[in-house]
Amino acid sequence: MREHLLLCRLLCSILLLWALTCKTIAFSTSNGTLPQEEVDAINALFAHRSQTAKLDGNGTFSDSDCGKRFTNLVYCNCYNATTCTVTNLYLSSAGLKGEIPNEIGKLSSLKTLSLAYNKFSKIPSSLQNLSKLSYILLDDNFLGGHIPTFFSQMKSLTFL
């Protein structure tokens, strides 16, 4: 019974991510660059990967990687020819561990955050800065304690 429940949760997560990917892939482009604070936030997450985790290239994200490298992990929306923002992060089962870094709160245009099936131990309060966040997947990590109350105050959040 437990195996069926876990399989169902995994399948639902995959279907949700697939649907979101189809919706947002049309907005991804490789023409612009990201602000440095967003690059730093992505690299702060990547720095929490275990030694056995594999990412494209050397695992360092740069300001021009939107739509080029890490195409299955990081989606960007480029508003004009030069400026982009990260809108979706799909880092489930990415071998990440430790605390979710505070820098993640700098991704002000983030709509989807998938960090399921990693080994994170703490939810940072900086997540409350993500006012556009509508989907967050945190299942099957090492999170403990109470669900932060700020989630209930996030008006865009529809899936936790």
Percent above pLDDT 90 for the chain: 46
Instruction: List the beta bridge partners of residue 77.
Output: 85
Residue 145 lies in a domain: yes
Residue 159 lies in a domain: no
- Calpha distance 67→94 (Å, rounded): 19
For residue 98, the model assigns a pLDDT of 92
Number of compact structural domains in the chain: 1
Greater confidence (34 vs 8) lies with 34
Query: What are the phi and psi torsion angles at 65 (to 5°)?
Result: -80, -10
Question: Where residue 116 falls among pLDDT bands split at 50, 70, 90?
Answer: very high
Task: Look at residues 71, 104, 67 and name the one whose alpha carbon lies nearest to residue 84.
Answer: 67
- Calpha distance 27→79 (Å, rounded): 9
Residue 36 lies in a domain: yes
Residue 93 lies in a domain: yes
- Give me the domain span that covers residue 94: 2-153
For residue 52, the model assigns a pLDDT of 53
Greater confidence (9 vs 61) lies with 61
Highest mean pLDDT of the ranges 10-14, 42-46, 57-61, 80-84: 42-46
Residue 75 lies in a domain: yes
**What does the block give as tokens for 23?**
């919706």
* Backbone conformation region of residue 88, classed left if phi is above 0, alpha if psi is from -120 to 50, else beta: beta
- Calpha distance 144→129 (Å, rounded): 21
Question: Where residue 9 falls among pLDDT bands split at 50, 70, 90?
Answer: low
Task: Look at residues 134, 131, 126 and name the one whose alpha carbon lies nearest to residue 105.
Answer: 126
- Express each pLDDT in 26-64 by its tens digit: 334 445 688 999 999 998 988 888 765 555 555 678 877
Residue 78 lies in a domain: yes
Asked if the model's pLDDT at residue 6 lies above 90, the reply is: no
Q: Which CATH number goes with the domain that contains 79?
A: 3.80.10
Q: What is the pTM of this model?
A: 0.75
- Calpha distance 123→99 (Å, rounded): 7
